[in-house]
């Protein structure tokens, strides 16, 4: 049975790599609005929320017809921000989907698939991956690479090129990257925030999902749309904008 689900998009203004990123214009529309629109195609406008620490982001989001939850400026990660938002608001949802605010090319069908997978795997966190495209470098520290076993469980995720090959180099198209759509329960988020700090490996890699390894929670990976490109730094804007307007 499919459970009640919403999308919460974490969006802070002072991103370490790209301050003000949620409000950058792509084809004349703020990045955060692109993400709200694609999320609403999956779960409906009334079930989309932006968790933010910025009144400027709040104003843009609300002026485009979406709901916001104001959070603190001290949330260490987007997932912590979502957990904080749930503490501040009484949202009656079984499943919370975190769609990162820098993923304007996510396919709404992949959000729906994450909801289905979380419904079927209540004891696991759901995350997504796709294969690197020719536009992306496996050596980019902005792209987390993933290693997955044959059951689609996450083995490890790193900003370094993984897996390593003893005899020959993998081609870039054989590497898998993280796509930042996550499926959580309220309990998952409670435990994540209750941990109280970033774990050592989470700090080293600067990848928040690694904290679930410390909690002993298995992460099930879903292969999603390969064309998904994120805006990680200013150099990505023209690349992503071109893809968004291609059709």
Q: Please report the pLDDT score of residue 1 as a whole number.
A: 40
Summarize the confidence of residues 35-53 as an average pLDDT.
Answer: 96
Cβ neighbour number for residue 80 with a 10 Å cutoff? 22
pTM metric for this prediction? 0.92
56-101 pLDDT tens trace: 999 999 999 999 999 998 999 999 999 999 999 989 899 999 999 8
Of 227 and 1, more confident = 227
> Measured in whole angstroms, how far is the alpha carbon of residue 56 from the centre of its chain?
21
- Say if 244 falls within a structural domain: no
- Say if 246 falls within a structural domain: no
- Say if 114 falls within a structural domain: yes
148-190 pLDDT tens trace: 999 999 999 999 999 988 777 776 668 999 999 999 999 999 9
Q: Report yes or no: 118 and 126 within 8 Å, Cβ to Cβ.
A: yes
- For 187, phi then psi, to 5°, come to -65, -40
Residue 24 has pLDDT above 60, yes or no: yes
Residue 102 has pLDDT above 70, yes or no: yes
Q: Which of 10, 95, 101 is nearest to 47 (CA)?
A: 95
Q: Please report the pLDDT score of residue 166 as a whole number.
A: 79
- Say if 43 falls within a structural domain: yes
- Say if 21 falls within a structural domain: yes
CATH code where residue 63 lies: 3.90.550.10
- 91-113 core/surface letters (b: 16 or more CB in 10 A; e: else): eebebbbbbbbbbbbbbbebbbb
Q: Please report the pLDDT score of residue 18 as a whole number.
A: 75
Pair of tokens at residue 115: 């909801």
Q: Report yes or no: 221 and 129 within 8 Å, Cβ to Cβ.
A: yes
State the Cα–Cα distance between residues 233 and 15, nearest whole angstrom: 10
Task: Give the total number of structural domains in the chain.
Answer: 1
- Say if 15 falls within a structural domain: yes
Domain extent at residue 61:
5-238
- Say if 45 falls within a structural domain: yes
Per-residue pLDDT band at 243 (split at 50, 70, 90)? confident
- Say if 96 falls within a structural domain: yes
174 HSE (CA, 13 A, CB side)? 8
Cβ contacts of 59 within 8 Å, gap of 6 or more: none
């Amino acid at each position: 049975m499919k459970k009640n689900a919403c999308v919460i998009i974490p969006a802070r203004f002072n991103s370490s790599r790209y301050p003000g990123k949620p409000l950058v214009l792509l084809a004349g529309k703020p990045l955060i609005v692109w993400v709200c629109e694609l999320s609403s195609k999956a779960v409906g406008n009334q079930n989309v929320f932006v968790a933010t620490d910025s009144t400027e982001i709040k104003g843009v989001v609300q002026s485009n017809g979406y709901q916001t939850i104001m959070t603190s400026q001290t949330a260490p990660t987007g997932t912590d921000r979502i957990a904080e938002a749930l503490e501040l608001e009484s949202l009656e949802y079984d499943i919370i989907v975190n769609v990162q605010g820098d993923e304007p090319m996510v396919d709404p069908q992949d959000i729906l698939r994450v909801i289905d997978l979380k419904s079927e795997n209540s004891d696991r966190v759901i995350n997504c991956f796709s294969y690197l495209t020719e536009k992306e470098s496996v050596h980019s520290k902005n792209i987390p690479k993933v290693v997955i076993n044959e059951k689609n469980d996450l083995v490890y995720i790193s900003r370094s090129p993984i897996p390593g090959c003893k005899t020959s180099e993998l081609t870039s198209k054989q590497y898998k990257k993280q796509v930042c759509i996550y499926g959580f329960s309220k309990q998952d988020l409670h435990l994540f925030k209750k941990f109280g700090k970033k774990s050592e490996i989470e700090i080293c890699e600067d990848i928040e999902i690694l904290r679930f390894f410390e909690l002993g929670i298995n992460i099930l990976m879903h292969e999603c749309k390969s064309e998904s490109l994120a805006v990680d730094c200013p150099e990505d804007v023209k690349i992503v904008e071109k893809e968004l307007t291609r059709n």
